[in-house]
Amino acid sequence: MYQTQPTEGEPLIAPSTTDHPLYDNVVEACRTVYDPEIPVNIFDLGLIYTIAIDDTNAVRILMTLTAPGCPVAGEMPGWVADAVNAIPGVRQVDVDMVFQPPWGMEMMSDEARLELGFI
């Protein structure tokens, strides 16, 4: 499923549920998934835009790719879902691919920039 353009006044990237008890575990699960073309995990690359976890422990992840033509575009959401589904207590996982806003190198963590030699 692809996200449509946000309406005026909405943030380009929806906030994550950082205060949920499962949030840190979901982040760590996302860090086990790597873009096969870049030796950095997808969370630190900035490809995970939103991690939303509801009261029933259902997880919805909005993610993007470094480029829409990425050769693993069809597979990567499944890799993320499999990694997060393995967390005890997670009821279900939905991963949606979005391309707005487009990914940019400024979305990478400092660790990812350092690993790739950008800083």
Q: What is the pLDDT of residues 52-106, one digit of tens each?
A: 999 999 999 999 998 878 788 889 999 999 999 999 999 999 999 998 999 988 9
Q: Is the Cβ–Cβ distance between 16 and 29 less than 8 Å?
A: no
The residue whose two tokens read 């909405």 is 10
The pLDDT value recorded for residue 9 is 57
Question: Crossing angle of helices 76-85/23-30, nearest 10°?
Answer: 140
pTM of the model: 0.87
In the sheet that holds 58-63, the strands lie side by side as: 48-53, 58-63, 92-97
Quick one: which of 54, 110, 49, 102 has its CA closest to 80? 49
In percent, the amount of the chain with pLDDT more than 90 equals 66
